[in-house]
C-alpha cells in the first residue's frame, strides 16, 4: 500500500517542482504590480500608482483602452479569418479528390515550417505595395495567412473523422455540397472549430513580432507592443508600471485558458489524421 501511494505521489511531486518557478513568477508579478519598489523577489510598500494607466494615459502614449481594443480586434478578426478559411479548405482537402491534392497537403506543411521572421522583408514590400503598411488590417491579413497552413491541416484531421455515410446520406437526400458542409458536417466538428478558434485567438492576442515591425503609429499599437515600448532603455524602466501592464495583459488570457482548456486539448485528439 505504501509503495502504491509513493508511486502515485511521484508524478505530482515532479509536477510541483516543474511548475514552482512559474507559480513564483506569477506571484512576483502580482505583488510587484502593487509595490512601491522591489529588490530581487521581495516587494516593498503598497501603492496603486502603478495602475494609473487605467484612468489616465501614459506620457506620449494612447489610452490603454484604445490599445486593448486594437489587441482584441486583432485577435478576433484573425480568429474569424483563420477558422472560416481553414474550415472550407480543410473540408475540400478531406472530401474532394483533385489533381495536386497530395502536393498541396505537403506544401501546407512546408509553408508552416518557415518562421515568420524570414519573411519580414517580403511582407514589408507586399504591404507597401497594397498600401496596407502601418494599418491594423494589413497585419491581421499577414497573421491570418501565416497561421492558415496549420489551421487547414488541423481542420482536415477533424473532417477525416466524420463518417462518409453521414455526408452521402445528405447528398442522396438532395443537399448541395455547400448545404451538406454547412448543415451536416460543420455541426459534427464543433469541438474542433472551438479548439481552433481558441488556439487562433490566443495566438493573435499574444502576437508581438508582426505588430512591432509593421505598426509604427502608436494609435495602432497592441498590448504586446506597448510592453516593449515601456521597457525601452533598460536603465530607466519603471518596473512597477511594467509589471502592472504585464499583469493587465495576461489576466484575460489566463481566465480564457482556464475556461476553455478542455476544448483546446481537442486539437491534439481530433486533428491528427493525415
Per-residue pLDDT reduced to its tens digit, 52-95: 888 888 877 888 999 999 999 999 999 999 999 999 998 888 88
Q: What is the pLDDT of residues 141-197, one digit of tens each?
A: 999 999 998 888 889 888 988 888 888 888 888 888 888 888 888 888 888 888 888
Predicted TM-score (pTM) of the model is 0.84
Residue 48 CB contacts under 8 Å (≥ 6 apart), including other chains? 34
Could you give the 3-state DSSP secondary structure of residue 66? Answer: helix
pLDDT of residue 1: 65
Residue 175 CB contacts under 8 Å (≥ 6 apart), including other chains? 183, 184
Check: CB of residue 243 under 8 Å from CB of residue 29: yes
Mean pLDDT of the chain: 84
Check: CB of residue 93 under 8 Å from CB of residue 154: no
Which domains does the chain carry? 70-229+252-270 (1.10.3720.10)
Q: What is the pLDDT of residues 219-239, one digit of tens each?
A: 899 999 999 888 876 667 788
> In terms of DSSP H, where are the helices of the chain?
2-32, 64-95, 101-113, 120-129, 136-160, 164-172, 177-179, 186-188, 190-206, 209-214, 223-231, 239-264, 267-270
Check: CB of residue 192 under 8 Å from CB of residue 266: yes
Tell me: pLDDT of 265 over 70.
no
Distance CA(137)–CA(78), nearest Å, equals 10
| Average pLDDT of the residues in 102-112 | 76
Amino acid at each position: 500500500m505504501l509503495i502504491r501511494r509513493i508511486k502515485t505521489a511521484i508524478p505530482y511531486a515532479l509536477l510541483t517542482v516543474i511548475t514552482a518557478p512559474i507559480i513564483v513568477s506569477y506571484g512576483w508579478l502580482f505583488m510587484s504590480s502593487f509595490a512601491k519598489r522591489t529588490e530581487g523577489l521581495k516587494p516593498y510598500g503598497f501603492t496603486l500608482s502603478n495602475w494609473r494607466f487605467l484612468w489616465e494615459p501614459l506620457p506620449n502614449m494612447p489610452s490603454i483602452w484604445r490599445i486593448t481594443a486594437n489587441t482584441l480586434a486583432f485577435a478576433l478578426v484573425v480568429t474569424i479569418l483563420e477558422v472560416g478559411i481553414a474550415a472550407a479548405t480543410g473540408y475540400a482537402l478531406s472530401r474532394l479528390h483533385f489533381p495536386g491534392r497530395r502536393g498541396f497537403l505537403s506544401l501546407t506543411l512546408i509553408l508552416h515550417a518557415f518562421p515568420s521572421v524570414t519573411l519580414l522583408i517580403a511582407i514589408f514590400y507586399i504591404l507597401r505595395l497594397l498600401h496596407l503598411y502601418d494599418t491594423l488590417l494589413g497585419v491581421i491579413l499577414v497573421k491570418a495567412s501565416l497561421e492558415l497552413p496549420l489551421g487547414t491541416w488541423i481542420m482536415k484531421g477533424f473532417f477525416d473523422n466524420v463518417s462518409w455515410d453521414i455526408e452521402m446520406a445528405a447528398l442522396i437526400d438532395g443537399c448541395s455540397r455547400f448545404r451538406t458542409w454547412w448543415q451536416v458536417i460543420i455541426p459534427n466538428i464543433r469541438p474542433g472549430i472551438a479548439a481552433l478558434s481558441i488556439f487562433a485567438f490566443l495566438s493573435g492576442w499574444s502576437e508581438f513580432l508582426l505588430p512591432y515591425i509593421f505598426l509604427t503609429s502608436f494609435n495602432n499599437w497592441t498590448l504586446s507592443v506597448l510592453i516593449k515600448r515601456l521597457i525601452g532603455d533598460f536603465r530607466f524602466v519603471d518596473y512597477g508600471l511594467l509589471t502592472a501592464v504585464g499583469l493587465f495583459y495576461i489576466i484575460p488570457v489566463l481566465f480564457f485558458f482556464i475556461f476553455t482548456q478542455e476544448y483546446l486539448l481537442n486539437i491534439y485528439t481530433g486533428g491528427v489524421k493525415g
